[in-house]
Structure 1
Amino acid sequence: MAGKAGRSADDAARMPLGEHIRELRNRLMKAALAILLGAVIGFVFRSHILHTLENPVCNIQGLSGVGRKNAECPDGALVFSGATAQVNLSFKIAMYCGVVIGSPVWLYQVWAFLAPGLYKKEKKYSLAFIGAAVPLFVGGVVVCYFLFPVIMKVLLTFLNGAGASTMLDASQYMTFCLQMMTVFGVAFVLPLVLVLFNFIGILSSKAMRKHWRIIVLAIFVFGAVAVPTGDPFGMSALALPICVLYFAAVGVSEINDRRRARKRASMPGANLSPDEATDLDLSPAPIEQAESLEDIL
């Protein structure tokens, strides 16, 4: 809904339905182009990405697979089944890279489409949210990557010594790997959502502190469900960083609530009882010095 050059925010907010649809089409085209360019980059470097993501399963000590053993995959656990498996996997990696690499662009396009319907402070907070969400998501993906060797070792050596070889379909493995990284990335962004709710006045830090025990329990339950091994190490590796981010969100929300309370206390008549009348200043002031209620709160 962001308008053309020279169009004000109010004009953009009052655009007719046809203009809204055309604006949505333009935003979608820009987002799709960013994802496509990211996918091209991912496709070009697909072999390097595959080699990086297969390391957790190709270097497990004591694991004997049925695939072709080489220097890049010593245990031979990964195999391709079918003539088109490698092509399908290449496009899957490319699309995932396109979504991740193009995320700053398509997230901004979503924000730009919704911005005319937001208040001034909501625009500022939502744009800051997008800027902070991307590195947090990447941080979750990085944590998952370093945790993944432990997850795969537990899963693939659960019946170690049974005399059977391992055959792990490469496409299924990569899908599982990318899904786990997505779960970790999204989980790292969730505390940021709480901060956003606090800044726009939906959630207070008092409520976040009051229910912290329930939240921490829910985080560990989520960690136990999200990590397929179910072992305490994997669950804690996901839950503990989220708990740290949650309490950081509580701290940021507490600072914001105190700042907001001090601002309200400085307003005329803030300390009056409900039965007392406030002294009103009826003298006119220049229009450029006027403050909106949104800026005061």
Structure 2
Amino acid sequence: MSARQPAPPLGADNGGIEQPFIDHLIELRDRLLRMVVAIAIIFVGLFPFANNLYTWIAKPIRAQLPEGATMIATQVASPFLTPFKLALVVAVFIAMPYILYQLWAFIAPGLYRHEKRLAVPLLASSIVLFYLGMVFAYFVVFPLVFGFFTSVTPEGVQQMPDIAFYLEFILKLFFAFGIAFEIPIATILLVAAGVTTPAALRQKRPYVIVGVFIAGMLLTPPDVISQTLLAIPMWLLYELGILFSRVFQQDTRAKMPAELDASDDSPAAESREPASPSGSGPAQIVVGHEIDSGDINDPERFRPLTDDEMEAELDAIEADELRAHQDSTDTGGINADGSIGSGAGSITATAALLQQANQRRAEGNLVAARHLLYRVLEDGNIDQRRVARNILSDLDS
């Protein structure tokens, strides 16, 4: 049996039981309510300390103000609403891991096993990196930015920042640096989805350097210090993302054969197990080469097919489909598992997926091809997985 049991699309048939669209909306509503309740509970606990929170968050600018200068409130309700808003935002930031967990729990049933294995560490890393971006902004950027603003104050002008404008200013910086620190996650996701490769990312380095300075100019206040303090970390994080994506890609290539071999005890694999040339028993066949049973644990036994061997495998699968179609025309039979025909020549939905994936690869739609190939790797028999594995290897090369 296949190891993957993805959730069906909304409204799709699941074992004869239709999943109503309203059930998904009810689940989404329940999880949104849990998010709101979590934020409300944290906010209730923080609100009595709202003024203390604002005092702490205002330390970077108060430390740079001239002696005797203070912050002011230019609106009537600002002394209440500004700490109130700060407490609410802090509650959302604190509850963010729980909020993301609820979102993950909602979409996880519809993901494939390899997608779950990728998403969990990336989700945890994205939370940590977002918090690190905020910490970097508070302890590194704020002192330098506010010190610069204070030093360029014209003579005769007393600097007295408004508390509401100050809060709006720092929240923009917190958000900008939190998002900027997500660059490694975005890089790994792009490589994992097949949109780009580490080599292509390295070639685009000059354009990225210009782009991060433009982004720093747009996301930060109009001063060169904050722009540079955002652009340089973004560039370094981009380089870090390239490094991690290379490690991730190599790790994926190393693990894929072992994981697929571990799932070769499925009924589909057993039904397609080829006989050895001597007829003494099944031979352990690896991508394009035969090995004896004693080599089953050899980590080097994965060898890519040549182009001719790949075409031969695909032609063999297509011949099976044609033979199965002819059998179904003669017998009019459709098997219980959805296959057509009988015996070794039965055509399955997985074989059709493999053909579609190969067609998508020929069209240049690599993302769609990868998605189809992953489905073949988890559902197909040993021959289909062998071909899918080699197509993926060809896409990664």
TM tier relative to shorter chain: 0.7 to 0.9
Identify which of 163, 171, 179 aligns with 1:178: 171
Alignment of 1:186-197 (within 5 A): 186-197=179-190
Structure 1 residue matching 2:195: 3-state secondary structure: coil
Question: Which of 218-227 and 175-184 deviates more?
Answer: 218-227
1:114 Cα deviation from its structure 2 partner: 1.7
Is there any run of 5+ residues in structure 1 with no aligned partner, and where?
Answer: 1-7, 65-73, 285-290
Q: Distance in 2 between matches of 1:127 and 1:265?
A: 22
TM-score, normalised to structure 1, is: 0.80
Indicate the structure (1 or 2) with the bigger Cα radius of gyration: 2
CA RMSD of aligned residues (A): 2.9
Answer whether contact 1:39 1:98 (CA < 8 A) is retained.
Answer: yes
- 1:211/1:191 Cα in 2 relative to 1: closer, same or farther (>3 Å)? same
1:215 to 208, 222, 227: 208
> Which whole-Å deviations, capped at 9, do the CAs of 1:98-146 have from their partners, x for residues lacking one?
2101100111111222222222121222222221111111111111112
Q: 2:287 aligns to what?
A: 268
Aligned to 2:108: 115
Distance (Å, rounded) in 1 between the aligned partners of 2:194 and 2:41 = 38
Q: Secondary structure at the match of 1:60?
A: coil
- Give the match for residue 196 of structure 2: 203
| 1:153 maps to 2:147 | yes
Task: State whether structure 2 residue 312 is matched by structure 1 residue 293.
Answer: no
Measured against aligned partners, the alpha-carbon deviations of 1:196-247 in whole angstroms (never above 9, x if no partner) come to: 232343332122122122112211221233231422x433322222222211
- Which of structures 1 and 2 has the larger relative contact order (alpha carbons within 8 angstroms, sep 6+)? 1
Letter in 2 for 1:144: A
Please give the alpha-carbon distance, in whole angstroms, between the structure 1 residues aligned to 2:46 and 2:220. Answer: 26
Which aligned runs of 4 or more in structure 1 are off by greater than 6 angstroms? 263-266
Alignment partner of 1:39 is 2:32 = no
Say how many residue pairs are matched.
270
Quickly say closer, same or farther: Cα 1:258–1:126, change in 2 above 3 A: closer
- After alignment, is 151-160 or 83-92 more displaced? 151-160
Shift of the alpha carbon at 1:28?
Answer: 0.4
8 Å Cα contact 2:188-2:245 kept in structure 1: yes
1:21-41 Cα distance to aligned partner (Å, 9 max, x none): 100111101111122223223
**Aligned pair partner of 2:7 in 5, 10, 32:** 10
Cα distance 1:59–1:190, how it changes in 2: closer, same or farther (>3 A)? same
Maintained 8 Å contact 1:141/1:185: yes
Structure 2 alignment gaps of length 5 or more: 13-18, 259-285, 289-302, 317-343, 345-373, 379-388, 393-397
Separation in structure 1 between the aligned mates of residue 253 and residue 103 of structure 2, nearest angstrom: 32
Q: TM-score, normalized by length of structure 2?
A: 0.61
Q: Give 1:169 deviation, angstroms.
A: 1.3
Q: Which residue of 1 aligns with 2:267?
A: none
> Secondary structure at the residue paired with 1:39?
helix
Q: Name the CA distance, whole Å, in 1 between partners of 2:55 and 2:46.
A: 13
2:242 is aligned to 250
Structure 1 residues 20, 278: CA separation in 2 closer, same or farther (over 3 Å shift)? closer
Pair 1:128–1:259, CA change in 2 (3 A): closer
